Amino acid sequence: MKRREFLTVPVKGLGGVLIYSLAGEAIRVQAQDGVVRVPLRFFNEAEARTVQAACARIFPADDSGPGATEANVIVYIDHQLAGPWGADKHRYTKGPWVESMPEHGYQGKENPREIYRAGVAKLGGDFASLALAAQDERLRAIEKTLFFQLLRTHTIEGMFSDPLHGGNAGLIGWQLIGYPGPLMSYRDEIDKYHGMPFEAKPRSLEQVVGRKVVGWEDEKE
């Protein structure tokens, strides 16, 4: 049996939530000295560190607010890759495989899991321990690759998708951009809030509907 891999993440983002391992058993996250150990579903710990560090360069914590590490973007990506999307369960994967023009989109055989495994290996096992400028240099070198484009897209998704998917911990992302969450009604607001911000404390989908919501990546096939 595969050894269970964990990643240490800051506790600020994970207020006592239950994390589900790939096998489906619930593990209550325990806070210790401001950090928690999160069970990984797809990455091993070293890979997760590399991806976490790369996401933090794409969407860094800085004087404009928290970033990818604080929002647990790594947990989001780990869950997506472990789920059906990571295995191309919804993409046409019959051959023959041929190269075509950009207007025909990605025609490659590799699924997101394989693209990540290869991309992370290319960033190097020492990536997370490099100085930030050296990390940026390595990322610039792969900027045009499909792996980097996925990583950038997933970083944004992990920042701003509903926390039921593992990222946007503590609604950090939505607080950053003033998104109130999936509220049920703006009937009294839509014709009043003209040119001014609608400032509401963000709420997640589960908070809005008052029950557990299961993401596609967590559903049994």
Question: ω before 96 within 30° of 0 (cis)?
Answer: yes
Closest contact distance (angstroms) between CB of 127 and another protein is: 15
Query: Torsions phi, psi of 100, nearest 5?
Result: -140, -170
Closest distance of CB 6 from another protein, Å: 25
Q: Which is nearer to another protein, 116 or 174 (CB)?
A: 174
CB of 81 to another protein, least distance (A): 13
How far is Cα 39 from Cα 5, in angstroms, rounded to an integer?
6
> For residues 35 and 132, which CB has a smaller minimum distance to another protein in the complex?
132
- In the block, which residue shows the tokens 């191309």? 88
Instruction: Considering the complex, state which of residue 36 and residue 50 has its C-beta at the smaller distance from another protein.
Output: 50
Structure tokens at 54: 């790369």
Task: Say how far apart CA 178 and CA 190 lie, in whole Å.
Answer: 16
Given the complex with another protein, which of 4 and 122 has the nearer CB atom? Answer: 122
CB of 131 to another protein, least distance (A): 15
Nearest C-alpha neighbor of 172 from the set 31, 80, 77, 68? 68
Q: Which residues bind another protein (CB under 8 A)?
A: 57-60, 62, 64-65, 67, 85, 88-94, 96, 98, 100-107, 136, 139, 152, 155-157, 159-162, 164-165, 173-174, 176-180, 182-187, 189-191, 193-198, 205, 208-209, 211, 213, 215-216
What is the three-class DSSP state of 182?
Answer: coil
The residue (of 31 and 182) whose beta carbon lies closer to another protein is 182
Output the smallest distance, CB 128 to another protein, in A. 17
Of 17, 39, 41, the closest CA to residue 28 belongs to: 17
